[in-house]
Amino acid sequence: MDEDLPEPSKKCAKVDSYGCVNWQPSKLPEGETLESLYEKQRELLNIYSQEGQRGADQKRVNDLMALLYMQQRHNINATPSPSMSDLQKEWPFLFIKKFLLQHFCTLTGIELEPRLRESLASKGKRLLHYFKSQLLKWKKEVKTVLYSIENQMEDVDPGLAAIILMIAYFKEKEDAFFLLADETSTQADIEAQISLPSTPRLIMLDSNTTEMFLGSKDIGIIGSPRLPWRHCDTESITMQRVLSQHVNDTCACVFNVSSTTSMPQWQHATADGIRKR
């Protein structure tokens, strides 16, 4: 832990603080000093070393994570930027769902889960309607996904179905988004058996199970949110896992395109058609 808290560079703040309401607080919490905050951060680390993720249920941990938001932002905004693994060592509880969501809400003023559900539902329905209305113009890969969606025995989440359509439309590889592991795999097994990429993937167990992980080379395997899978019969195992997922039980989805394309081409899908940037 640093002995002082240097202000992030103005250049970095102007660019990266877009959309934030609490990018880098500078006022110490009432009754606190820098030294007392460092002591509380060390207390958090001690709790994690003894309790692991179970410590997240302690009220003391909840209180400390909220109190130490300023410290967290200083570490995240430091120059040079810290790696994810370094942040995880300094703030292990920040990599647990409820504290990540709490941090995001303090940073942006937005409750992520309801906003994500609303956005996926509204934009997903719009995309699905467009693709279905233009069925004959699509290539085989897109038609296969559309037929799979239509053949579901139960309701399909429109947001996640739209993501699968985007993968097919832009000819992305499924393993640029999702990795499958054996249904009996634990977090340790996955880390030992799967060669993790440098960018995050959603790792799903190959069965009608409820386990799901997020992993990358930098941060390893983190999280294990419980997700209710519903069985469905599609041509793709990955498609089956995603199309049958309830998005309202997820924390957040972290996606990235494969190395052959760049993210901006995903960003223009309108009722008039889909355009690459």
Q: Quick: pLDDT tens for 117-151.
A: 899 899 999 999 999 999 999 999 999 999 988 88
- Cα separation of 181 and 175, whole Å? 12
Report yes or no: 93 and 72 within 8 Å, Cβ to Cβ.
no
**For residue range 2-40, what is the model confidence (pLDDT) as tens digits?**
555 555 544 443 434 678 999 999 999 999 999 999 999
Report yes or no: 26 and 5 within 8 Å, Cβ to Cβ.
no
Report yes or no: 193 and 185 within 8 Å, Cβ to Cβ.
yes
- Cα separation of 205 and 211, whole Å? 6
pLDDT confidence band for 204 (50 / 70 / 90) = confident
pLDDT given for residue 215 in this prediction: 61
Q: Is the pLDDT of residue 234 over 60?
A: no
pLDDT confidence band for 183 (50 / 70 / 90) = confident
**What value does the mean pLDDT take over residues 47-66?**
96
Cis peptide before 80 (omega within 30 of 0): yes
Q: Give the H or E element holding residue 126.
A: helix 112-133
Q: In what order do the strands lie in the sheet with 201-205?
A: 178-181, 201-205, 212-216, 220-222
Contacts of 142 (CB under 8 A, 6+ apart): 131, 165, 168, 169
**For residue range 92-104, what is the model confidence (pLDDT) as tens digits?**
999 998 999 999 9
Listing DSSP states for 192-216 in one string gives HHS---SS-EEEEESSS---EEEEE
